[in-house]
Every structure is written in structure tokens, then in C-alpha cells.
Amino acid sequence: MTLAVPTLRLMPEIPGRVRGYPQLRFMGSKFRLLSWIHEVLAEIDFDSALDAFSGSGCVSYLLKAMGKRVTANDFLNFCTTIARATVENPGVRLTEDDLELLLSYDRRHRKFIEGRFSGIFFTKEDLRFLDRTWWNVGKLQGEYARSIAVSAMIRSCAKRQPRGVFTVAGDPEHYKDGRRDLRLSLREHFLEQVSVYNSCVFDGVKGCVAANGDILDFDADEFDLVYMDPPYVPRSDDNCYIKRYHFLEGLSCYWKGMDILESSRVKKIVKPYTPFSYRRTAISAFEAMFAKFSRSILVLSYSSNGFPDLPILVGLMRRYKSSIEVFEKDHRYHFGTHSSAERNRVKEYLVVGR
């Protein structure tokens, strides 16, 4: 294993538009590490890339902005929806007419969200807004316009919700502590978010794709480089994405085909299984993933609070790659409570295998 040392060479600047990416408060998001990731990736020669666990989509967006043909994959539908709007989308924006259509009143609209989530999240007016707008999304022409509209709804809900998570039910009035994001209605947020997403859209190289599935079932296409940022086995706290973001996941498809856990106070949905989240399955999952993509350059994001420890992962990668470099950076995740702040101070690694 080589520990890569910083050089004094001038590093290429991160493409400017990446700073304006509409990031989510997403657990494990690499948004604040993008400059560093860019520095490392800019030194590697590649044209096509798979972002195997795209999450908030920011790394895929960076790759697209670097001129790469990128496939963003995640097994959560809301992550794929955002990647479809920002990464796969070759330049489609919502027009004034689209917006007017989205905001129009159609008395045939369904009332599923209001019925299910009244008294749990948001105000009645907010929930009605979501039902009405979703009904109109179906009238938009084309999947990119629809994905922008749904992404704008997703980000609006994440912003309006305290801490951006959906773990506890709460009266929105209770949180009116002056913060603008909690003060604005969902409709007001939505208007802002449509223009935020519209302005981040651009046409990259041909063939960018947003995929939705378990990475271990992914049809291993030929990618020059595969970037992997899997969820970590939690050391103490849990790392469940569905527990935090179930509302966004349901919203991304209007809860179509989703199993709601009726006994849960917040009406969670069933979480998809991932072997990366459990001690007894994580190591073999890493091994299967490295084997699957062994013909590509492998770039693994990892952190010192993950399991297994770094040397084990490097050893696994070495089975497929002759040269391994490890880049390292101090980092602090803004997630969780103050008491966990110490735990959130970690070393971030990028392990590059060729």
C-alpha cells in the first residue's frame, strides 16, 4: 500500500458549476469533499465512470462536469430521480408553462399524501400542495421535465423538515424558530427549487445515465473507472437511509408499489436490504464488488469510522489490483447531535486501485 503524499503542483480547479450543485443534507454526502475528490480524480486518465452509490448525486455531477460519461447508480429511487434530473438530463429545463401547469388546480387529483401524513409531517396546506403538484407532474412531457419537478419537491421537503430527516413526527408550528427554511411553505420552497434545478442543468458528454438497482446485481458494463462510496457498517448509531428519508423515497414515486409499515408512527416504508450495512456480510460484499468491477480502475471512498478497517479493504482490493494508492484527509461530518461531534471527526480515505 502506498500512502500518497500531497504534491506542491498546482491542482486543477474544480469546475465552477459543481459548487452550485443543490446538495441535500444527506448522510455521508461527499459534497464538502468534492474539491479533494476532484484533485485525486483529475490525476487519473479515464473517460467513462460508474458512481456505484450515487446518494445525493454530487459526485456523479462532478464527474459529468469533468466531461466524463457517467452512470449514477443507487438502489433508492429518490437518489436516482435526482441523478436523472441533474446527471442523465441532457439539458431539459422546466418552462414557465410547465410551472403554471404544475401549480394549477385540478379537482381530480388524488389525496394520498394528505390522508397518510396529516398530523405527522408538514401542514395540511403543504400536504395538499404535494398531492396537487404530483397529480400535475404526470401531465408534463418527458422524463427529464418530470424528474426536475420531483427533485424540486424532494429538496423542498428536505429543507422544510427540521434537520432534513423524517425520523420523528412533529407539528411544523413547533419548529418555527425563525429559520427561513422552516418558515417557508412547501409551495414557496418549490418555486425556488425549480429555478435551482433549472440552473444546474447542463448538457455533458453523450450517454450519461441514472440507474436504479442493487450494485451487486448491476450488469457490469465496461467503465474505465468505478467510484464506490457504500454505506458504512455503523459502529454504534445506525446508518439506515430509509429511517431518515422514507418520506422522500415514497414521494419520488407517490408511494407506488411501496409497502408502508402501518405500525410505525411516521409511516415508514420497508427498507431494502444491503449487505454493506452488516458486520457479517460487509467483507464479502466488498469482495464481490471489487471482483465484479476488477477490469476498471477502482476508487473507494472510505472513512476511519467504517468497518472493516482500511488495511482489510486494501488487502481485498490487492487481490485484483497491482497498484494501490491511499489518499487521506481529515474531515468532520455534520450529522447527528453535538454529543456525537467527536465521533463525527474522521479521516477520509480515497483508495485508488489500478
Ligand X SMILES: C[S@@+](CC[C@H](N)C(=O)[O-])C[C@H]1O[C@@H](n2cnc3c(N)ncnc32)[C@H](O)[C@@H]1O
Query: Which residues of this protein are in contact with ligand X, per CB under 6 A?
Result: 26, 28-30, 53, 55-56, 58-59, 74-76, 79, 214-216, 229-231, 241, 274, 276
- Nearest distance from residue 100's CB to ligand X, in Å? 32
Supply the DSSP symbol for 73. E
Q: How far apart are CA 134 and CA 157, in angstroms?
A: 13
- In this structure, the strands spanning 345-353 and 324-332 are antiparallel
- Nearest distance from residue 347's CB to ligand X, in Å? 16
Select 29 or 156, whichever has its Cβ closest to ligand X. 29
- Nearest distance from residue 79's CB to ligand X, in Å? 5
Sheet holding 2-3, edge to edge: 2-3, 324-332, 345-353, 297-303, 225-228, 48-51, 69-74, 209-212
A 10 A CB-CB count for 91 gives 9
Select 267 or 292, whichever has its Cβ closest to ligand X. 292
Q: How far apart are CA 120 and CA 131, in angstroms?
A: 15
Select 74 or 114, whichever has its Cβ closest to ligand X. 74
Select 29 or 133, whichever has its Cβ closest to ligand X. 29
- Take residue 222 and report the three cell numbers written for it: 465496461
- Nearest distance from residue 272's CB to ligand X, in Å? 7
By C-alpha distance, which of 118, 56, 43, 97 is closest to 245? Answer: 56
Residue showing cell 436504479: 212
Q: In DSSP terms, which residues pair with 326 in a beta bridge?
A: 3, 351
Select 126 or 229, whichever has its Cβ closest to ligand X. 229
Q: How far apart are CA 114 and CA 118, in angstroms?
A: 5
Select 149 or 350, whichever has its Cβ closest to ligand X. 350
Q: Nearest-5° angle of CA 86, CA 91, CA 92?
A: 90
Residue 329 CB contacts under 8 Å (≥ 6 apart), including other chains: 33, 36, 347, 348, 349
- Nearest distance from residue 49's CB to ligand X, in Å? 13
- Nearest distance from residue 348's CB to ligand X, in Å? 11
- Nearest distance from residue 76's CB to ligand X, in Å? 4
Select 145 or 210, whichever has its Cβ closest to ligand X. 210
Select 50 or 58, whichever has its Cβ closest to ligand X. 58
- Nearest distance from residue 5's CB to ligand X, in Å? 25
- Nearest distance from residue 34's CB to ligand X, in Å? 8
**Distance separating the N- and C-terminal Cα atoms of the chain:** 12
Distances (CA, A) of 207 to 56, 67, 69, 329: 20, 11, 6, 32
Closest CB to ligand X: residue number: 55
Select 59 or 314, whichever has its Cβ closest to ligand X. 59
